[in-house]
Amino acid sequence: MLINGFTVFAQIVNFLILVALLRWVLYKPIFKVLNQRQKGLEERWQGAEQLQTEAQQALLAYQQQQQDLADQRQTLLAAARAEAEQERQRQIIQIRQEAADQRADWQADLHQAQQAFLLNLRQQVMQQTTAIARRALADLANADLERQMVAVFCDHLRHLPADQHQTLAQSLAEPIAVRSSFGLSADLQQQVIDTLQATFGQVPPVEFATVPDLICGIELRLAGQEIVWSLDTYLTTLEQHLAAALTQTDLAEKPLTNPGLTTEDPSQPPITNNQ
């Protein structure tokens, strides 16, 4: 095969042109990109080294802080233990003092409870006695007794004190409330109304009501005035005197009397006027 010099020369020129083109078009941008990447990697490496240095410094600072905190904790724990021991000793002394005070209070309360028990027992006996008396009087009420009580009540209305009569007369514009422990029949109601009219002249309407709490009694209410006739007055007075007597240290030296029988006419139960 014959070698043509011109062809060889042309191939060499073509090769050189191709190499120049590849260097200009391909290799140079590639080298540029590689150089940029290498430069970025070097910057990142330097940044990583700086971060590592900073991290080591932060670690050393953290370790120093931990050591300082450990030292402070030991100091605080020692102070807390000392303070806790002082508080424990103080509380022990306080508890002992409180226990001694409570023991003294308990002994005083025990003595007081013993006295209160005896007094309460006596009061219960007194209360049961008066309660039985009230129930007995309530059971004994009958028509004749009711009529007699209305008669006594009307008689008391006719003989009111002058000042009370004047006060009631000035308050007759208000309704009159009459309450009794039993239901008043029509004739007994009319008897009360007639007595009021005879005592005060023209009177407003009278309202009658039944109140079982009144033991064999009847009362009139008007303008803050209260006129009461009731056998319960005896029992209330008796209960008050019993309570006063039971507070004394020696019951035997204070004989109990019924004030309703010693200060009042036994045939006429007391009348109370409350201003």
pLDDT tens-place string over residues 141-158:
555 677 888 888 888 888
The pLDDT, as a whole number, for residue 172 is: 76
Beta bridge partners of 210: 180
Within 13 Å and on the Cβ side, how many CA atoms surround 183? 2
Radius of gyration in angstroms for the set of CA atoms belonging to the chain, rounded to a whole number = 57
What pLDDT does 270 receive?
A: 44
Q: How confident is the model at residue 89 (pLDDT cuts 50, 70, 90)?
A: very high
The domain segmentation of the chain, as residue ranges, is: 81-140, 141-274
Alpha carbon 258 to its chain's center: 45
At a CB cut-off of 8 Å and minimum separation 6, what does 206 contact? 175, 176, 177, 178, 189, 192, 193, 196
Residues whose CB is less than 8 angstroms from the CB of residue 255 and which lie 6 or more positions away in sequence, other chains included:
none
Tokens of 100: 């001694």
When pLDDT is averaged across residues 28-34 and rounded to a whole number, the result is: 80
Mean pLDDT of the region 18-37: 79
For 145, phi and psi rounded to 5 degrees?
-65, -40
Start-to-end Cα distance in the chain = 160
Whether 82 shows a pLDDT value over 80: the answer reads yes
Q: Which amino acid is at 209?
A: A
What does each C-alpha distance from 50 to 40, 47, 216 come to in angstroms? 15, 5, 110
pLDDT at position 3, please?
Answer: 63
Tokens of 122: 């006596």
d(CA 110, CA 95): 21
pTM of the entire predicted model: 0.39
